[in-house]
Amino acid sequence: MSTVDTFEKGSYLTGQHGFVSFKNGRYNTKYKYNYKMKSFGVNHLYLAWCDNNLSNDFGWWFKRSQPYVYQPHKDDRAYVSFQTAEDLAKFTWFMLKHNED
């Protein structure tokens, strides 16, 4: 199997992340509005919150400063991406409530 195999719309099996399925979320998808996470990862619970609380599609993607081999580089970052500024604002508020930023 390759690193990313699509099984159905919105469902992916990745070597790094395992099986991921959201009705509105897409792995490795960038939209106009991006939220930069504090680390190189995105907590699955945050993505589930987006899927349950946002009506528009969202995505998550990763900026790699070097090829990912065994561990992320200190400058790698994860992003959650949104189609609308309103969804970005909702997610930012959610993250603030969880003391993430």
From first to last of its 101 residues, the chain has per-residue pLDDT tens of: 333 444 444 444 444 455 556 888 988 999 999 999 988 888 889 999 999 999 999 999 988 876 666 666 667 789 999 999 999 999 999 999 887 65
pTM for the whole structure = 0.72
- The residue to which tokens 């993607």 are assigned: 61
Name the residue among 76, 85, 75, 71 with its Cα closest to residue 35. Answer: 85
User: Could you report how far apart the first and last alpha carbons of the chain are, in Å?
Assistant: 37
Q: Sketch the domain layout of the chain as residue ranges.
A: 25-97
Residue 17 makes CB contacts below 8 A (sequence gap 6+) with: 27
